[in-house]
Structure 1
């Protein structure tokens, strides 16, 4: 069969693009500074604080599932920015915060309209927030963040957004209930923020509600002790992950930025039903063939640009239901979400009571810690028949390569930019496989 000349030229062009992209992918153009803030830290948890025990003793996680069902109900119409369903969700969140007895965050109101450049006087979105005041009004503050908007409707189809991000919103509302009820005397203000406009087409733009918040905070940004951002927390129960021993995993990203953050994240005692794994942000911000860019994955985007304050990003990663109509309340792993709420109660208490300054540095990466975590993730994952053979072969090769890198680095070899880029691409393949198990094309980068 003779191929038309145009098809041949198109194939040659695509091959050239892929070849150039692959060669670029072998180097790290971002210039990460390699550190050992996680791999060099003592991993031993520290004893619980009095305020931590107070919160856990009063925490009732039974309200989480009903809140998810309410926020992801059909009448919420997917909570798309600027829609009636979004307004209903916003009113529900504000009502819960008011009922919890928390203080309105924005000069006497729970709502903060957000605006965009050249957008006129009409708000682009509306953030919602409240806080538990510390004893000293001029002290610093921490903030827990979970965006409440989702994709809305596409035609007649509703995108419920149970995991994205009703689950995280419901968890923070439950923590707000216990904060308002127990009112532990904490060193810092504890802020709960629910931004609007996180989803496309606002993602990684100045239109994000969280970006507006970071630029117009209720307290000086310089006094922000730590932000903890939550997105895509649990997803559906997944038998493949259960067989691989990964069903309880949740990722804690960003601790590589300072020893203080690493100590905070690793010092939280274990909670049955949840396994926090520290992973470097660079490993979820890499894309194939675009090594010169990093892609923030949630509401920390504007914070990193606005003020460089310490933050952690907590996520379970993308599930197969991500951004589909099947992301419904009945699919979620509620026992894991309840366990995570207990772990987060410990984390927020330690952040609110911890040392004066956590410090923070951009463009940090801990290759040794990342390789150990990624090897833990891929050790028993991706071998089943539900994965295409090409993908299974790629994942097996990844395991062998990570073992070789880890062996060399633990023996004292210095990681190179190219090796860390390799690790990032292998991690990306692992994430993509979790999200879309039949995606054979993930094997080709």
Structure 2
């Protein structure tokens, strides 16, 4: 009987270890959000001095984590020239962790916000310093647990000006489009009183649903699927963040985010309103999904028609 108990413990121990591996450093995660959403960053509007300050902080964190740059640079410069704004030099920040496969998973989160209006700073702690913090936490995890597939981490600029950073990324991708298997986008992960983090995109990519359903709830956060059906109007999030540009190209995506809250696009979107227990668990859920999908991605019948080589 004792031998059976010992054997059961030995068999269970690796599983317990695996379940606990992806717990991000909550203090570091929250520090990243606090720094990026400080008044000194001036709301991080594309082209602003505060946006440049945010870039420098993110680049410092890329180097600390050990992300590799493409062509000796983390920066992808591009121009924003639309009716809404003109920014001569906006900047995506891109690094990667090589895998055994040259096929890539693209993890995105925009770091820009809407800046200052009428003398008030819109700090964008949830929108989207929280997504960038989770991106950095995911990068740190996979730097210590090398992935099967190459994972590219892209902190995108110009989302608030029409998803311009995602468009620039795909117009000049660091790897051929046909090698991109999936986009995982994070935009607003930090404020939710019900412990709900939405995973949007399975309506368009039903083959991803079984994998999302395997992600077990954390203590303070659980995944809820939805917000991706055309008949939902504004509650359909398909075109509401950077993942839409991937969807346009036929690249499967999952968008992780919370429902709108009173601080959305308001000066009150400050670090103090981030839920300090929900947010680390929400970030952990994304990492859990990434680990799961990285392990099993070859089994997915992904139909990336627009990105296939000619």
Q: Would you identify which runs of 4 or more consecutive aligned residues in structure 1 move more than 4 Å? A: 47-50, 116-119
Aligned to 1:96: 61
Cα distance change on mapping 1:355 and 1:67 into 2, 3 Å = closer
Aligned to 2:265: 323
Query: More strand per residue: 1 or 2?
Result: 2
Matches within 5 A, 1:164-243: 164-180=127-143, 182=144, 184-199=145-160, 202-203=161-162, 208-235=164-191, 238=193
User: Which one of the candidate residues 339, 347, 372 is aligned to 2:281?
Assistant: 339
TM-score, normalization by structure 2: 0.85
Count of paired positions: 290
- Asked if structure 1 preserves the Cα contact closer than 8 Å seen for 2:222 and 2:285, the reply is no
Matches within 5 A, 1:75-86: 75-86=40-51
Q: Secondary structure at the match of 1:99?
A: helix
Matches within 5 A, 1:225-264: 225-235=181-191, 238=193, 247-264=194-211
User: Which one of the candidate residues 301, 306, 310 is aligned to 2:244?
Assistant: 301
Cα distance change on mapping 1:54 and 1:339 into 2, 3 Å = closer
**Equivalents in 1 of 2:232, 2:91: separation in Å?**
27
User: Which one of the candidate residues 96, 105, 111 is aligned to 1:148?
Assistant: 111
- Asked if structure 2 preserves the Cα contact closer than 8 Å seen for 1:144 and 1:192, the reply is yes
Q: Please say which structure displays the higher CA radius of gyration.
A: 1
**Equivalents in 2 of 1:123, 1:253: separation in Å?**
33
**Equivalents in 2 of 1:135, 1:92: separation in Å?**
29
**Equivalents in 2 of 1:229, 1:326: separation in Å?**
24
**Equivalents in 2 of 1:294, 1:335: separation in Å?**
25
Matches within 5 A, 1:16-415: 53=18, 56=21, 59-104=24-69, 106-116=70-80, 123-136=88-101, 139-180=102-143, 182=144, 184-199=145-160, 202-203=161-162, 208-235=164-191, 238=193, 247-282=194-229, 286-287=233-234, 296-305=239-248, 307-356=249-298, 357-360=300-303
TM-aligned CA deviation for residue 285 of structure 1: 6.2
Q: Secondary structure at the match of 2:139?
A: helix
**Equivalents in 2 of 1:338, 1:283: separation in Å?**
31
**Equivalents in 2 of 1:280, 1:141: separation in Å?**
26
Structure 2 runs not aligned, ≥5 long: 1-11, 306-310
TM-aligned CA deviation for residue 109 of structure 1: 0.8
- Asked if structure 1 preserves the Cα contact closer than 8 Å seen for 2:97 and 2:146, the reply is no
Of 94-103 and 294-303, more deviation after overlay is shown by 294-303
TM-score, normalization by structure 1: 0.60
Cα deviation, 1:372-411, whole Å, max 9, x if unaligned, reads xxxxxxxxxxxxxxxxxxxxxxxxxxxxxxxxxxxxxxxx
TM-aligned CA deviation for residue 144 of structure 1: 1.3
**Equivalents in 1 of 2:242, 2:13: separation in Å?**
29
